[in-house]
A and B are shown apart, each in its own frame.
Chain A
Amino acid sequence: MNSIFLTRLFRLFILLLFQVLVFNNIHLLGYITPLVIGYMVVCMHRNASRIAVLVWGFVIGLLFDTFSNTAGMGAASCTLIAMIQPVLLERLAPRDSAENLTPSFTSLGFWNYVFYVFLLMAALHGCFYLLDAFTLTDWPLTLFSISGGSVFTTIIIIFIELLIRTRKETTRHL
């Protein structure tokens, strides 16, 4: 339990650092800023308590807000995906999988995992950009940011996942 907590804390620190220093400064095509911080919620394992997942989501969002002047927007959207994540994971997990399944390519299968990440990112970016615009007058622009952001962030997360997993595999072989 303690080691899981420390791992999450470490992951949070690294992700926040990257989000603030790198991803907050990326504006693809002028509007698309990837909220990679959502990877924290993606990584929550299967039998984690739902309240713990919610609180983690909220704290992650709040930290993100503090660094990017978006008071409340990040917290609201991260809490939303923290609510969806356990349900989604339950649906997508193979029937005979382990109780404390950690979502990854190997445990869910490649396309299932991509689908899982994309749905969570779509919810995250949808909530975030709707709260940011707070109007539907320029909805094409909002829709563009939401869809672009979800796709772009999904690609980044899959890239991170590939990087981490392959390194783990190689260390195991050694």
Chain B
Amino acid sequence: MRALIDLIIHNKHWFVFLLLEVISLVFLFSHNGYQKSVYFTTANDVVGSAYNVISGITSYLHLKEENHDLEAANEQLRKEVYEMHQQLEAIQKDSVKRMPALSLKYDVVSAQVVNMTIHKANNFITINKGEADGIRPEMGVINSRGVVGIVYMTSRHYSIVMPLLNVNSKISCRLRNSEYFGSLVWQRGYADIAYVTSVPRHAPVKKKEIVETNGYSDIFPPGLPIGVVQEIGDSPDGMSYFLRVKLFANFPTLREVSVITNYSSPERRMLEEMAEDPAKQDSVLISQDKMKELEEQKKKAADEKAEKERLEFERVKQQLEKEHSTSTPSATITNDNPISTDTVR
């Protein structure tokens, strides 16, 4: 026993070493889960605000390119607005038909990049908007040129985005002309090149074809540009194409991004989860029964309330009539009544 204690005391640094290494590895592996590591990353408010100050200074370095981009985007938007106006005019002349939805189907929150890596295997971007601005994990992130990535974790005022430049990122996409779909992955190396896999061999693929989102996932709406096909190769198994894509988003100078906030629908996600996991179907049915029960209870309560209010109304009415017969009528009586009649109905 004494020998054992001596051994422990003599080699206590080994135990401390092992303990600290285990703690580090726990951090390392829990980083792959959600929220857990928010306090050891730049989504943390303190570190995030430090980066905010830093990026406030460094953002001036990229102003020229940023301006150029905005100018280009502006130009295109102006053109589009003009076209839309013309279209609208043509339709209004007809006066019967109207385009059902000219407006965007999704809202965006614009945010600034405060920290970013592009040279690691797992790159992340920190942006200065968080839960307080309505941002949640798994929302899509775009900029004026194209798709940037997907929100990975959020804190109150900051979020971490998993960009396309992450070996774990996988985004479903399609070719604009032929509508064949594949998935976009990244391999460590270049910050402007990604690869599309699993496009079938019979798809007519050409160089310079545009790759865009296909709306199969509920993260991005369909039709957002991702990149342009640069080289056509074969996958190792020879069953599909392996396309080299030049990304539109220029990651090294990325400053302004937009987060798509209201595109994803919980109902759709629930349905998909249900289809994948038959065990959940029962629970959903049960919850539907419960919902029905709850609704009935609510209805009953509402009926009771209405009945009560009706009685009250009658009582007030009688009282008022009595007063009316004794004294002169006043304007307030007529003002009170409509409110109660509304609730009774």
B47 at the interface (CB under 8 A from A): yes
**How far apart sit A33 and B29, CA to CA, in the bound complex (Å)?**
22
Q: Is there an interface contact between A65 and B188, defined as CB atoms closer than 8 Å?
A: no
Main secondary structure, interface of B, reads helix
**How far apart sit A76 and B20, CA to CA, in the bound complex (Å)?**
8
Q: Is there an interface contact between A132 and B122, defined as CB atoms closer than 8 Å?
A: yes
- Residues on B with C-beta less than 8 A from A132 are 120-122
**How far apart sit A27 and B165, CA to CA, in the bound complex (Å)?**
16
B126 at the interface (CB under 8 A from A): yes
A96 at the interface (CB under 8 A from B): no
A121 at the interface (CB under 8 A from B): no
With beta carbons under 8 angstroms apart, the residue of A51, A69, A79 that contacts B42 is: A69
With beta carbons under 8 angstroms apart, the residue of B13, B21, B118, B188 that contacts A80 is: B21
> Count the B residues whose beta carbon is within 8 Å of the partner chain — how many?
35
A162 at the interface (CB under 8 A from B): no
With beta carbons under 8 angstroms apart, the residue of B20, B31, B40, B124 that contacts A79 is: B20
Q: Is there an interface contact between B13 and A79, defined as CB atoms closer than 8 Å?
A: no
A50 at the interface (CB under 8 A from B): yes
- Residues on A with C-beta less than 8 A from B51 are 67
A9 at the interface (CB under 8 A from B): no
Interface range, A side: 20 to 34
With beta carbons under 8 angstroms apart, the residue of B20, B42, B117, B126 that contacts A55 is: B20
A133 at the interface (CB under 8 A from B): yes
A54-B13, A72-B26 are known contacts; what are 7 more A-B pairs with Cβ within 8 Å? A24-B117, A51-B16, A66-B41, A66-B42, A67-B47, A75-B23, A76-B21
| B interface with A by C-beta (< 8 Å) | 12-13, 16-17, 20-21, 23-31, 37, 40-42, 44, 47, 50-51, 54, 115, 117-122, 124, 126, 160, 188
- Enumerate 10 A-B pairs (CB-CB under 8 Å) in ascending A order: A55-B16, A57-B20, A67-B47, A67-B51, A71-B30, A71-B41, A72-B27, A80-B21, A131-B28, A141-B188
